[in-house]
Amino acid sequence: MSKIDWQAEVTKRQDAILADLQTLLKIKSERDTAHKTPDKPLGPGPAKALDAMLTIGRRDGFTTKNVDNVAGRIAYGSGNEILGIFGHLDVVPAGDDWATDPYQPVIKDGRIYARGTADDKGPAIAAYYGLKIVKELGLPVHKQIHYIFGTDEESEWVGIHRYMETEPAPDFGFSPDAEFPIINGEKGIADFTITVLPPKTPQHGDYTLASFQAGLRTNMVPGRAQAVVSGANPGELQQHFDSFLASHPVDGTITGTGDNQLTLTVTGKVAHASTPDQGINAAVYLAQFLNSQPLAGRGAAYVKVIADYLANDFDGTKLGIAHHDPLMGDLSASADLFLFDAAKQEAMVTVNVRYPQGTTDKRMNQQIVDTIGADVVTSTIVGDPEVPHYVSGDDPLVQTLLQVYTDHTGQPGHEQIIGGGTYGRIIPRGVAFGAELPDTESVMHQANEYMPLAELWLATAIYADAIYRLAQ
């Protein structure tokens, strides 16, 4: 480790770090294309967050560039090679069940709470101050350092792709958007929308499903699900529902909505779609309950597909897509978006799959149909899947970052492969590096998201040292 006391430099700047972080956290930077404008194609929030970050960079004497209000760059140094740092300023929707306002940061018990603290505004500010410390100390750097910000990492990556189309690509780099000691491998990511077809033979029952809805994004396990049924006996349905809730890890309510309709609501636990087993998928439990009741028609077919093929199927076994790779491990599957509307004849579920090398999106798409039955469902690949990504543990980038981690923590570094997707995969020699420590509770995408202040300070010191070493 170099002779610079990186932690002391961070300590001097703690108040400034918190002030800038709070500025970002107060911006509701969810992707919002419903309110897009020609100059803000991802909505006002992401553009505002980008402007705020670039304003901070200009204040501190960096060169900045805004790319179409969807991405931006803070630059420092000179040289033939470009070291890239990749952060993102958008956040997933806050959702329900917060103890505080998700966009009014609260510091309590050594933690800062708000949407985006852990993913990714806290780590992004830590890396920014790492760069700022290198600049303010006047340390020699022999490479260009481009700190690149995207504004829709949680959805379609429009911003970062636009940046890569129009700006010079870094030669190597890291994203402060995962965990320590390093993430040098990321599974592929693909979304599949399964449409349940009308049953070919009539399905009779005592009542019908009018609607079923759950999920906010394809990368979030839904923590709440709601269904409207008609024709059911309220007392009888309530009795069955109470019995179901007593034996399953979810809460729920039934309310009357008039017109002989009842609304069922189930509450589970949100989690990141790359770790679906850490959540409690409210939608699959609601579907399991409805599947045990005398439903009629397409609604019956819809909940049966969910109950039979998607409920608690974290590795895709029930869907017929399970796959294991010795390096990257097991595939994961998370059913995250649910939409059934009898009036509009919609019956869909979108499944988010994180897959290791050795299989493909097209293969899995066919396997889903073959498993459930072409007479029961269709399946469609959504958007542009991300293929698996891996940077060798022998690469100097990986070796340097692991050494920095060890020097600051005293813990041995080791390579890791995850199901999450980060901007680290945007270039061939890109990895994710921090900021979550190995023993820290993972609260990304969850209600009451937070970042421990001690982790924020440590990450900033690690990033400063890492940037300095990599820029030599």
Q: Which residues are catalytic?
A: 90, 153
Cross-strand bridge partners of residue 338: 214, 349
Using H for helix, E for strand and C for coil, what is the string for the chain?
Answer: CCCCCHHHHHHHCHHHHHHHHHHHHCCCCECCHHHCECCECCCHHHHHHHHHHHHHHHHCCCEEEEECCCEEEEEECCCCCEEEEEEECCECCCCCCCCCCCCCCEEECCEEECCCCCCCHHHHHHHHHHHHHHHHCCCCCCCEEEEEEECCCCCCCHHHHHHHHHCCCCCEEEECCEECCCECEECEEEEEEEEECCCCCCCCCCEEEEEEEECCCCCEECCEEEEEEECCCHHHHHHHHHHHHHCCCCEEEEEEEECCEEEEEEECECEECCCHHHCECHHHHHHHHHHCCCEEHHHHHHHHHHHHHCCCCCCCCCCCCCCEECCCEECEEEEEEEEEECCCCEEEEEEEEEECCCCCHHHHHHHHHHHHCCCCEEEEEEEEEECCEECCCCCHHHHHHHHHHHHHHCCCCCCCEECCCCHHHHCCCEEECCEECCCCCCCCCCCCCEEEHHHHHHHHHHHHHHHHHHCC
